[in-house]
A = this chain, B = another copy of it.
Amino acid sequence: MNLKAEFINPFLEATVSVVKTMAALEPVPGTPSIKKESSSHGDISGIVGITGEAEGSLSITFHKDCILHITSQMLGEEKKEINNEVKDAVGELTNMISGDSRRRLQLLGHTFQGAIPSVVSGPEHEIKHITNGPVLSIPFATKAGGFTVEVCFK
């Protein structure tokens, strides 16, 4: 599938909308880039598979400070470590961003299904999407640090 601008905005807008709604925090998107090969590094990530018009994968990767801030905002109490509650929050954010992106794509006439998200934690882990197609990478800044959304299709 061609990763043209039409496909970038639904993921970008869904991410801003979900984080804003869930954490009362406005993430500022940086310049999206499309790479032939890409891997993101962070401390905790949500990953969810996509099928339908094309097969793909969506990941959202946070550094520790950023997700602790977002989760503290979401849960209304300060989180100091990546525990089970934080992992579940990342799963919930991933599910909501996957769902909201697909809803926005549906409005443009593109139908996709989403799988169950998995949450990966571990200091400085790396995620690599296994595809010959392009990988769309969107960096976001928050006052507590950044996170990265990556989307790829076959």
Contact = CB atoms under 8 A, between A and B. Distances in A.
Interface of A: 45-52, 55-57, 59, 87-88, 91-92, 94-95, 113-131, 152-154
Given A57-B118, A153-B116, A87 B51 contact: no
A126 B116 contact: no
A102 to B, nearest CB: 11
Nearest to A128: B119
15 contacts: A47-B118, A49-B50, A51-B51, A55-B113, A55-B114, A55-B116, A56-B115, A57-B118, A87-B128, A91-B128, A113-B113, A115-B115, A116-B131, A116-B153, A122-B122
Given A94-B130, A123-B122, A128-B121, A116 B152 contact: yes
Question: Interface on chain A toward B: helix, strand, loop, or mixed SS?
Answer: strand
A49 B80 CA distance: 30
A34 to B, nearest CB: 16
Contacts of A59: 118
Nearest to A94: B130
A94 B7 CA distance: 27
Given A45-B120, A87-B128, A88-B130, 19 more contacts: A49-B51, A49-B114, A49-B116, A52-B113, A56-B115, A56-B116, A59-B118, A91-B130, A92-B130, A94-B130, A116-B129, A116-B153, A116-B154, A117-B130, A118-B127, A118-B129, A119-B127, A121-B125, A121-B126
